[in-house]
Amino acid sequence: MLAIWKGKGWVVPAIFLAAFADVQLFVDYFMGEGFYSDNRWVKVMALVAVAILVGVIGCLFNNRDGVIHVDSETGKKTKSPAHTLLFLPIEVWAVIVPFIFLSVDYFNAEQESKSLTYLEKPRVNDIYGVDFSKIFKNEDPTYKYGTMVVVSVNLNVIEVQSSTHAYDGKSGIRKDIYNGKAKEAFYYADEVTPFNVRETIKFYDDGAIFSVNRK
């Protein structure tokens, strides 16, 4: 069986997960609900602080407990870490985790910026991944994820058709968009619904629209 960690390598996920959960609860408690998620600088500061903590702990543990090996021919001494996660010393994860986090955060920010640009300047055939229950009344609370396609644009007013297909998760919608099924005319009902651009942007802010796709 593959050993995921050696020694106290388990402290890496434990510290990062516990710290982020506690920081979010702490910040939202004193600054108001949603403050943590709405302010990127808070996340970055928390990430840096936790990364420094993990780095210091890793260095202390591995300097104290590292195993010294002596080459029988040259007599050269090498020290291998006693505490690792996925074969990497604890202190290395103080760099890897922030890099992954910041990369994902940058990608998400770019996607959000692109989506908002598409919503502000809609085009015919734009496809929105939506939660119908947050847009229309009396929608199925379980099978609520579908798509809307823009069929006309007139100044700040768009007309959309809603999909006849609905799923209980977003993955079904993403799959239909990816394989082109959501681009077909048969995928949508004939009924047309008008919205203004301000409404669609608010839908996005509220999570009713969760993706915007353009050819």
Same domain? 94 vs 176: no
Task: Tell me which residue range forms the domain holding 195.
Answer: 121-213
Same domain? 112 vs 148: no
Return the closest-CA partner of residue 173 out of 204, 114, 132. 132
Q: What is the pLDDT of residue 193?
A: 96
In this structure, the strands spanning 84-85 and 88-89 are antiparallel
Distance CA 138, CA 142 (A): 12
Same domain? 82 vs 174: no
Put simply, whether the predicted model's pTM sits higher than 0.85 gets the answer no
Instruction: Dump pLDDT digits (tens) for 159-191.
Output: 999 999 899 999 999 999 999 999 999 999 999
Split into its structural domains, the chain has a count of 2
Instruction: Dump pLDDT digits (tens) for 116-144.
Output: 999 999 999 999 999 999 999 888 889 99
Strand partners, 157: 154, 196
Q: What is the pLDDT of residue 114?
A: 93
Return the closest-CA partner of residue 51 out of 6, 88, 91, 4. 91
Same domain? 102 vs 150: no
Same domain? 14 vs 42: yes
Same domain? 9 vs 113: yes
Same domain? 106 vs 128: no
Residue stretches of the chain with pLDDT short of 70: 1-2, 69-72, 75, 77-78
Distance CA 69, CA 152 (A): 72
